Amino acid sequence: MTPDPEREFLRHVVATLAYRCAKTLRGAPEGFDAYKASPTTRTPVEILTHIGDLMDWVLALASKGHLYKDSRPLPWTEEQARFHAVLAALDDYLAGDQPLVTPWRQLFQGGLADALTHTGQLAMLRRMHGVPMKGESYARAEIVAGRVGPEQTPPEPKYEFD
């Protein structure tokens, strides 16, 4: 079977999200999950919950049609596990041969692009909280379709900078 370039693109986006978000979550200090930048902003755990909801929504859009729900935040470590589990389910679906119910462009421009934006918010909140991550040349990162767990290879990126 010839690989579908649109599905391969989406799988790469999902792997990119996993890579970038895992870097943002790795080494976050205790209490970061509840950090509030202002009275009207979401906390990191609320943002991560929303990202998980977005990925549930993208999976639903891909497999059966529109279905979105807002979840209550789980404890920080459980929410991280939920995020990676839904990425794995989405990647599995995209790697299969079941039809995409929603066009791939809509999957990207909606929930996937939104999740990348929210990952950037988490990175910004880490800096505001006083525990920034090192910068990295993401164009040179080893991002592989199907690698969607918290452990990314290599564990220490080769192209970080201060």
List domains and CATH numbers for the chain.
7-149 (1.20.120.450)
Q: Helix, strand or coil for residue 74?
A: coil
Residue 138: per-residue pLDDT? 85
12 with 149: CB under 8 angstroms?
A: no
- Which residue shows structure tokens 């999902």? 14
pTM: 0.92
Q: Helix, strand or coil for residue 161?
A: strand
Task: Please name which of 9, 35, 23, 19 lies closest in space to residue 103, comparing C-alpha atoms.
Answer: 9
Helix axes 76-95, 5-25, angle to 10 degrees: 170
Asked whether the predicted pLDDT for residue 158 surpasses 80, the reply is no
Percent of the chain with pLDDT over 70: 93
